[in-house]
Structures are given as C-alpha cells and as structure tokens.
Structure 1
Amino acid sequence: MKRMIVLVVLFVLSAWAGAQTVAEHLAAGDAAYERYDNAGALKHYQAAWKVDSTNCDALWKIARSHIDIGELADEKTQKVNYYQGEKFARAAVRHCPNSADAHLMLAVSVGRVALMVGGKKKVELSKEVKAEAEKALELDPNKDIAHHVLARWHREVTHLSGFLKTFAKILYGGLPPASDEKAVAHFTKALQIKPDYINHHLEMGITYEAMKQWEAARAEYRKVAELPIGAFNDQQHKNEAAERLAKILDKK
C-alpha cells in the first residue's frame, strides 16, 4: 500500500513537472518570437509539443513559426515550411476545435500553400481559407489577421483568371461572391483592431492600386513608411511599399 502511494505521488509530481516544462518552453518560444527569432521560437515550441503533443498553444505556434520561417526563405525551404505549417495547424484544429488561433493558422497556412499550387488545387484550397478565417472570427471577432486573410481572399478571387473561375463553376458550382470593395471593408476592420500593423496598410494599398484608386493607394504606402517596425518582415513590407509608391506617383 505504501509503495502504491509513493508511485501515485511520483506520477502526480511527474505530470506537474511536465506541465511546467510545457509552460516554460512556450514562454521561451514567445520571448524568441517577440525578438523576431523565428527559428529559436520554433525550437522551443517543438520542445513543448514533445512534452505534450496535444497542447493547443504548442501546435498552432509551431504552425505560425513554420509560416514565418517560410516567408523569407528560398523556394525549397519555403515549400517545406508551409506544408509543415499546414500539418501542425490541422493538428491544432483537430485537438482544439474551439481555438480561434488554431483556425486562423489553418487559414493562413492553407493560403500560403495555395500560393504555390495552381488550377484545381488552388480553387479547392481557396474555399477552405475563407471558411477557416470566418470560423476564427466567429470564435474571436478581434482577430485582425483573420480580417486580413479574408480581405486577401476577396482580392485574389476577384482577380482570378477567367479560366479558373469557369473551372470553379463547372466543378464546384462557382466560388462565393468576392469583390475589391469587400477586401477594403475587411482591411478597414483589421486596421480598426490594429491600426499600426504595417502589412494591413501595405495590402490595403495594393488593393486600392488594383482598383485604380491611386491617391488612396499612395496614402497607404506613405503610412507604411511612417510606421515603426513591429514585425520580423516589416522591412520587406516597407521596401515593397516604397517601390510601389515610386511606380504610381504620377498616376491619376
């Protein structure tokens, strides 16, 4: 009996220590993420996942890290990371169906994968991107990135080639209605939630450019130049905004 009690105590202490280890690794990963060390963040999140493979935060943060690493990588590395991001995001949704972050990371990762494929697969994935972003907003209306994803979805679908639109109509009865105006509406909501997020302004500018609203586009690109860097990829966003602004300075 005494031996049984000792074993139970050891089991409880072991479980408690494991939970602490998960929390510590997640905290270390978050600290690395805040200083834009995506590779370091990934290592800590993976360590947390190895302790508890069903931990919601570990799963969706691993997905986020893979997406972030892939964004600035070469094509081969990017592909590997985007697919890994999708894999862990799907696991996050499977284990944590009520997590807005899990659904958001699935929307983002599937969207990144969609950029690398064409034809039928792109159309299939686009529907999932929209559904997952909408689910994230249903669970948490303050997810600015979910609005960003939906804005991008509207713009991309609006400017999809006629061939792919016909393809989608034949196979799936068409895609949901999309427009640049709805893209602007979602970017506006994203900016209401997070007004200093550089990529919201950049993509809003790109959308206005697609609509030939040159002055509005220039205003967004100039805003990008004014804002301080707040994310690991913001310098790239600033560079792109400057290049785009130079090309449309005289547009009327």
Structure 2
Amino acid sequence: MISTIVFFVTIAFTSGRPIDAQTVSELIAQGDALHNQFDTYGAFKAYKAASILDSTNFDVLWKMAGELIDMGNELPKSNDQAAKYREAEVISRKAIYLNPNHTKGHVMLALALEKTALGYTGTDRVKTLNQSRIAAEKAIEINAEEDLALSLLGRWNREMTNTAWITRTFSKLFVVSTPPATYEKAADQFAKAIAINHNCISHYLELGKTLVLLEKWTEADEAFQKVMDLQVTQKSDSKWQRVAKHYLQLLQQGNHSELVDSIEE
C-alpha cells in the first residue's frame, strides 16, 4: 500500500512540475515555446515566473517586454493598451540598464515608445517618436544588422513626414530637435531591413505602404503581393496579410485616394 502511494506521488511530481519548482532556464524555454505557438499570455506568464526567480535576467526582461507589446497590439486603443506599452517601456529600460551593449533592450524600448507615441497627438507625439528613433539608432549602432531597428527608423521617417508641418516646426522650436524625415528615407530603411531579413512579412507591408505614399503603385503592388506569398511566422502576420489583401484590392480598383487615406490614418 505504501509503495503504491509513493508511486503515485512520484508520478504527480515528475509528470507536471508546478511552475514554482521550475528553474529559470526551464521557464524561459517554456516561454519561448509558447511564444512560437503564438500564445502571448502564456509566454508572458512563463517569463514573469522566471523574473520572480531572477529579476536581473536580461533575456527574461526583454522577452517580457516583447510579449507586453504584443498584448497591447491585440487590444483596442484604450487605457489598458497604453498601460501595456508603458510597462513594456519600464521593463525595457531595466533590461538596458543590465546590458546596455545588447540590441534587444534598445529595440524593445524603441517599439514600446513608438506604440505609446501613436496614442498621442501634437508635440507629445513628436517627442516620444523621437525617443523611439534614438533607441532604434542605438540598436543599429550596436548591430548594423538589426532589421527590426531599421524598420523602426523607416516608420519614424514615414510618421514624421505625415505629421503636420506646423506640429513639426513647433516641436523643433520649443520641444525637441529632429533630423529631416522623408518617405524616400523610409523606403530605403525598409529595403535595408528586407535585405537582412527577407522573410519578414511586416517589412514588406511597411515598404508597400511607403511606396503608396510615394505614388509608386506598381512597386507597392509587388510589396503587398509579397506579404501574401510569405509564410506566417509571427502572431501578427495573419493580420498583416489581411491588411495587404485590402490594399491590393484598392490598387486593383485604381482607388488610390482611399488607399492613401487608409495608410495615413
């Protein structure tokens, strides 16, 4: 009888170890697996548990920040969404403090700041976008092959070019100095990102959107078609393919004005 009890107790502990009995490396591996399965909340839970065991683990922190950004992306524009991005910013800054010479902390900070900025208007938007640009540039300074940082710089150029002239001028005079931004620079940054990572769906989508604003319709069509042809590898990729499909329909209809308006929103 006693041996039977021991057998079942042993099975209980070895077949499904409770999360607080797992090591940091095991929890990171679990989080990575859940991330690859597009389980954002499950991955965050695993990374969070790892951070409780080791609050100074750089990999845990930047990965937590990434999941928080993904969580925010899934939410409608709201206080809850903004809170996810702010938390991601705080965690990214801690990661940078622990390891300032690694790109991932700077990339996550740039992403979090960009997402926060898009919820702002006027000079607050410009100021926060500029902070995002600086973080992305730092990542590229560390590693020139950081394609996500290049894409972020491309988006910065496009967003700043879209920003009203009066807002840009006021911001330069009274808030923050920013370098000149153009759609051409944005397209160049996206092309560089694609050259490094030619399987990234979002790079092609962002390039296509920029080519639309440059009124390069044929090239934009090719970029959006590439979005449709590539294999989904990130949770957001299916969403980007739906967006690209809509853009392609507008292009095929010759409805350029509606296409431009939808991209500038």
Aligned residues: 234
Give the aligned partner of residue 75 of structure 1. Answer: 77
Higher mean C-alpha deviation, range 83-92 or range 100-109 = 83-92
Give the structure 2 partner of residue 42 of structure 1: 44
Deviation at residue 159 of structure 1 after TM alignment: 1.5
1:201-230 per-position Cα deviation (integer Å, ceiling 9, x unaligned): 111000000111111111111111111111
Distance in 1, matches of 2:67 and 2:176, equals 35
For residues 217-251 of structure 1, the C-alpha deviation after alignment (integer angstroms, 9 at most, x for no partner) is: 11111111111111101111011001111112254
Counterpart-to-counterpart distance in 2, 1:105 and 1:173: 22
Quote the Cα distance in structure 2 between the aligned partners of 1:156 and 1:182: 12
Unaligned runs of 5+ in 2: 1-19, 257-265
Q: 2:231 aligns with which of 225, 228, 233?
A: 228
Moved over 4 A (4+): none
Over residues 39-88 of structure 1, what are the superposed CA-to-partner deviations in whole Å (9 max), with x where a residue is unaligned?
11101111111111111111111110000111121223322211111111
The alpha carbon displacement at 1:172 in A equals 3.9
Kindly indicate whether the alpha-carbon contact (under 8 Å) linking 1:119 and 1:164 is maintained by their aligned counterparts in 2.
Answer: yes
Q: Which amino acid aligns with 1:156?
A: E
Is 1:139 matched with 2:156? no
| 1:174 CA drift (Å) | 3.9
Aligned-partner SS, 1:116: coil
Match of 1:125 in 2: 128
The correspondence for 1:247, drawn from 235, 245, 250, is 250
Task: Please state how far the C-alpha of 1:140 moved relative to its aligned partner.
Answer: 1.6
- Is 1:165 equivalent to 2:168 in the alignment? yes
Equivalent of residue 197 in structure 2, options 194, 197, 202: 194
Quote the residue 1:15 is aligned against.
none
Task: Give the aligned residue type for 1:56.
Answer: F
- C-alpha contact 2:126 2:160 (8 A) present in aligned 1: no
* Aligned counterparts of 1:173 and 1:25: Cα–Cα separation in 2: 42
Match of 1:101 in 2: 104
C-alpha separation between the residues in 1 aligned to 2:84 and 2:234?
19
Residue segments in structure 1 that go unaligned for 5+ positions in a row: 1-17
Match of 2:186 among 156, 180, 183: 183
**Aligned-residue offset at 1:196:** 1.3
Preserved contact between residue 69 and residue 81 of structure 1 (Cα < 8 Å): yes
Q: Deviations over 1:185-208 (max 9, x none)?
A: 111111111101111111100000
Contact 1:166 1:174 in 2 (8 A): no
**Does the Cα contact within 8 Å between 2:123 and 2:175 map onto a contact in 1?**
no
Report if the CA contact (8 A) 2:201-2:237 is conserved.
yes
Is the deviation greater in 109-118 or in 120-129? 120-129
The residue number in structure 2 matching 1:91 is: 94
- Whether the 8 Å contact between 1:90 and 1:106 is mirrored in structure 2 is yes
Task: Provide the C-alpha distance between the structure 2 equivalents of 1:78 and 1:173, rounded to a whole number of angstroms.
Answer: 26
Given that 2:208 and 2:219 are in contact with CA atoms closer than 8 Å, whether structure 1 keeps it comes out as yes
Letter in 1 for 2:202: N
2:24 maps to what in 1?
A: 22
What SS does the aligned partner of 2:242 have? helix
> What is aligned with 1:57?
59
- Look up the SS of the partner of 1:142 in the other structure: coil
The separation in 2 between residues aligned to 1:74 and 1:174, in whole angstroms, is 31
Shift of 1:167: 1.4
Look up the match of 1:149: 152
State the one-letter code of the partner of 2:221: R
Considering only aligned residues, what root-mean-square deviation do their CA atoms show, in Å?
1.6
Partner deviation per Cα, 1:122-153 (whole Å, 9 max, x = no partner)? 12112211111011111122211011100000
User: Aligned pair in 2 of structure 1 residues 162, 201: CA closer, same or farther (>3 Å)?
Assistant: same
Cα distance in structure 2, aligned partners of 1:81 and 1:205: 28
